Structure 1
Amino acid sequence: MFREKLKREIEIIKSNGLYRFLREKRDNILDFSSNDYLCLSKHPEVIEAVKEGLKYGVGSTGSRLTSGNINHQRLEEKIAEFKETERALVYSSGYATNVGVISALCKKGDLILSDKLNHASIIDGCRLSKADVLIYNHCDVEHLANLIEENWKKYNNLFIITDGVFSMDGDVAPLRDLKKIADEFNAILIIDDAHGTGVLGDGKGTLKHFNLKPSDNIIQIGTLSKAIGGLGGFVCGIDEVVEYLINTSRSFIYSTALPPHVVEGCIKAFEIIERGDVVKELQKNIKIANGIFKKNGFIKENNLTPIYPFIFKEKTMLIAEHLIKNNIFCVGIRYPTVPKGLERIRVSINVSHKKEDFELLCEKIKDIYQNHLNQTTNNPYPLYSRLFSQ
């Protein structure tokens, strides 16, 4: 009975065009899908650090509160120094960090104000918390301020939660304005800087990009699996936040600690970022991509980040499949990850890409659109527009 029920559910998913499957990544493919923005996952120094870390063994063998606390505090000290905060705490993943931090800190009688386009891990953390949740329109500071003005007196604590860089659109949260609102209403600002760390603010993240200093009412969350090139997540802020999370955050307490050789690789990755060269190289590539993508009509405005959504709506998955046949890997993103009508190819660039790669991508998409989708107009592909009101 259970097997048949699952089969029916899977068929419904397929009939709705929402079926997902795992695809093996080929070595000879031009990859515009990876979040390894600085290509540190394959950096020789990082690999050597990982090899050296194997002296501790392959796994950590337990949670941080039992047998798993090996070299992890060295990484936390490096992150705290890098983010200019009092302290940091490492989790097993970025997802586990958001879920664990939000569900531990936000309680019954509190109010969370969450950006409409926040990552799924933030949404799940809000759901697991006992706090009430209100959603403000994407990056709409006025809407956020109105919601707080109408509700703040009813609650014990206020939490404003936002991505620093939004993973599906590549735009940057208005942190300067969000910080002003947080200060005015004595709220806590939680920033998930998964896609900002290593990218903006000389690599230090979105807060540094706006020249904002860490303060008692700011909590920064990040991942070690994107620009850092490793695995895991982290939270950083004041000492008391970390101390509290060690004692209350379930996804920290009850998870096996990161493998120590991964920890060593992440420490080395932060050291490389601090040198500055690799971040400058990424920013140089973003400028080159901006020019080519704008010239070909795929974007209107220059990007600050390496994430480019090319919105093709219902044609998205067909274009993605044709690109793979041409040895170009770009993931098609559809509902529920993005709203219906805003399906897109998510183009993610990194320091290894060359000008010719960006030109080839544009050329292949135009060829697919005109020769495989039977489009004959001179400019069939859409200009990129942020249709967040829909």
Structure 2
Amino acid sequence: MFRSELRRELETIMRNNLYRSLRKKREDILDFSSNDYLCLSKHPEVIEAVKEGLKYGLGSTGSRLTSGNINHEILEERLAEFKETERALLYPTGYSTNIGVISALCKRGDLILSDRLNHASIIDGCRLSRADVEIYEHCNVESLVNILEEKRKNYNNIFIITDGVFSMDGDIAPLEDIKRIADEYNGVVIVDDAHGTGVLGRGKGTLKHFNLKPSDNIIQIGTLSKAFGGLGGFVCGIEEVIEYLINTSRSFIYSTALPPSLVSGALKSLELIEEGHLTKKLQENIRSANRIFRRYNLIEEDSLTPIYPIILGDRTMEVSEYLLKNGIYAPGIRYPSVPKGLERIRVSINVGHREEDFERLGRLLNDCIS
């Protein structure tokens, strides 16, 4: 009975053209799918650092509170310096960071205001918390204020949670306005800077992009799996926040710590990001892509980030397969990752791409959709 029920549900998914399957990564195609924005996952110095970290063993063998606290505090100190905060704390993944931070800090009697297009890990963290959740319209400050005006007096604490850079659209949250509103309403801002770190603000992220200084009511979340090229997540903030999470955050307390070799690799990635040349090269590539994609009428406005949504609706998967047959991997993104009707090819560029790569992609997309 259980098997037949699952089969029926899978058939429904297939009929709705929402079926997903695993696709083996190929090295013989031009890849526009990766979040490895600075190409650090294969950087020789990072790989050597990972090898050196294997001296500690393959895994960390336990949680951070038992046998798993090895070289992790070194990276945490460096991340805190990098983000200009008092403390940082590592988690095994970016997903576990969001669910662990939000569910620990936001309690019954609190109010969360969450951007409509926030990442699934933020949504799940909000669901796991015991706080009430209100959704404000995407990057819409007026919508945010209207909810606060109506609801603020009913709650103990206010949390405004947003991506820094939105993973499917590549746009940037209006953090200047959000911080001002948080100050006015005595709220706390939690910003997931997964796609901003290493990309904006000379690599330091979205706060630096807006020249905002970290403060007591800003909590920054990041990942080591995108611009850093590795795996893991982290949170940066004031001393009390980090100490509280060490003692209450379930996805931190009850997870095996990151393998120390990956921590060593991330330390080297951070060093390379701080040198600045990779982030500068990425911004040069973004400017080149903007110019070329505009010429092929693929975008209307220049992007500041390496994420380009090509909205195609029902044709998305057809176009993605066409690109693949012509040697380019640019994945189609469907519901529920994006709203129905806004299915898109998500183009993600990196420092390894060349102008001729953007030309090739632009030409193929133009031939296919014009």
**TM-score tier after normalising by the smaller chain length:** over 0.9
- CA distance, structure 2, for counterparts of residue 132 and residue 316 of structure 1: 36
Within-5 A mapping of 1:142-153: 142-153=142-153
| Residue number in structure 2 paired with 1:41 | 41
Matched, 1:241 2:238: no
Please list the CA deviations of residues 14-51 of structure 1 after superposition, one character each: whole Å capped at 9, or x if unmatched: 11111000000111110000000000011111011001
Alpha-carbon distance in structure 2 between the residues aligned to 1:73 and 1:290: 40
AA at the equivalent of 2:43? H
CA distance in 1, matches of 2:294, 2:311: 14
Q: Give 1:159 shift.
A: 0.1
What's the CA shift for 1:150? 0.8
CA distance in structure 2 between the partners assigned to 1:262 and 1:327 by the alignment: 31
Partner in structure 1 of residue 9 of structure 2: 9
Structure 2 counterpart of 1:357: 357
Note the C-alpha offset of 1:344.
0.4
Report the Cα distance in structure 1 between the residues aligned to 2:6 and 2:147, rounded to whole angstroms.
Answer: 41
1:299-336 C-alpha deviation (Å, 9 max, x unpaired): 01110000000011110000001111111000100111
SS at match of 1:202: helix
Letter in 2 for 1:280: K
1:171 corresponds to = 171
* 1:130 matched to 2:130: yes
Looking at structure 2, the residues matched to 134 and 365 of structure 1 have their Cα atoms a distance apart, in angstroms, of 38
Provide the residue aligned with 2:207 in structure 1. 207
Secondary structure at the aligned position of 2:190 is classed as: strand
- Taking structure 1 as the reference length, what is the TM-score of the superposition? 0.94
Paired AA for residue 57 in structure 1: G
Give the corresponding residue for 1:21: 21
Distance 1:12 1:67 in 2: 46
For 1:173, give the aligned amino acid: A
CA–CA distance in structure 2, aligned partners of residues 212 and 278 of structure 1 = 23
Amino acid at match of 2:137: N
AA aligned to 1:318 is: E
1:109 aligns with 2:112: no
| Separation in structure 2 between the aligned mates of residue 343 and residue 52 of structure 1, nearest angstrom | 43
Number of residue pairs the alignment of both structures matches: 370
Note the C-alpha offset of 1:4.
Answer: 1.0
SS at match of 2:41: helix
Shift in Å at residue 368 of structure 1?
2.8
Secondary structure in 1 aligned to 2:80?
A: helix
Q: What 5-or-longer segments of structure 1 have no aligned partner?
A: 370-379, 381-390
Alignment of 1:69-80 (within 5 A): 69-80=69-80
Q: CA deviation at 1:364?
A: 1.3
Superposed displacement of residue 2, structure 1: 1.1
1:363 is displaced (CA, Å) by 1.1
Aligned runs of 1:1-390 on 2, under 5 Å? 1-369=1-369, 380=370
Match of 1:171, SS state, is: coil
2-structure distance, mates of 1:356, 1:217: 45
Give the SS at the match of 1:222: strand
The CA deviation at 1:342 is 0.6
Q: Once superposed, what is the RMSD of the aligned Cα atoms?
A: 0.6
| 3-state SS of paired residue (1:144) | helix
In structure 2, runs of 5+ residues without a counterpart are: none
1:42 aligns to what SS in structure 2?
coil
Q: By how many angstroms is 1:367 displaced?
A: 2.6
Q: Determine helix, strand or coil for the equivalent of 1:347.
A: strand
SS in 2 for 1:211: coil
Q: Show the counterpart of 1:376.
A: none
Instruction: State TM-score, norm by structure 2.
Output: 0.99
Structure 2: how far apart are the matches of 1:351 and 1:303?
15
Percent identity between matched residues is: 73
Q: By how many angstroms is 1:366 displaced?
A: 2.4
